Amino acid sequence: MVIHVGAVKAEDYDCILNEIKNIKKICGKKILKVIIETCLLSREEKIKMCEIVTAARADYIKTSTGFSTGGATVQDIKLFAEHVGKNVKIKAAGGIRTLEDAQTFIELGCSRLGTSSIVRILKAEEWRGY
């Protein structure tokens, strides 16, 4: 699911929390990833979303859909790692173009990565002899 960015900007955090909780209830044992579109949020809003995603007991917090103005950044993943609860995993999506990018995000705490560049990355690594 993607958060309601308008609700974030309006500081209607109860709306977001309730929406995530309701969707999580419907999902049951299925995985719920909450996409917060980091490129549209301030640092404070990102921290608040980490807190809300944790409180709502979602399985993942994810950086972006890939359809907005930016993707995962090292700074955002560090921020997530500092502010999500232990029950929330991190998914970085968007902007992962090399094996080094992927390794960096994994080292910072990501459990999943989203990239449309995987074929190109693997071909480049194959060419380099891996």
Q: How far apart are the first and last CA of the chain?
A: 36
Tell me the domain boundaries of the chain: 5-127
Q: How many CA atoms lie within 13 A of 115 on its CB side?
A: 19
**34 DSSP β-pair partners:** 61
Asked if 96 contacts 124 with a C-beta cutoff of 8 angstroms, the reply is: no
**In tens digits, what is the pLDDT along the chain, a chain of 130 residues?**
999 999 999 999 999 999 999 999 999 999 999 999 999 999 999 999 999 999 999 999 999 987 888 889 999 999 999 999 999 999 999 888 888 888 999 999 999 998 877 777 777 777 666 5
pLDDT of residue 127: 66
Domain 5-127 annotated CATH 3.20.20.70? yes
- Whole-model pTM: value is 0.88
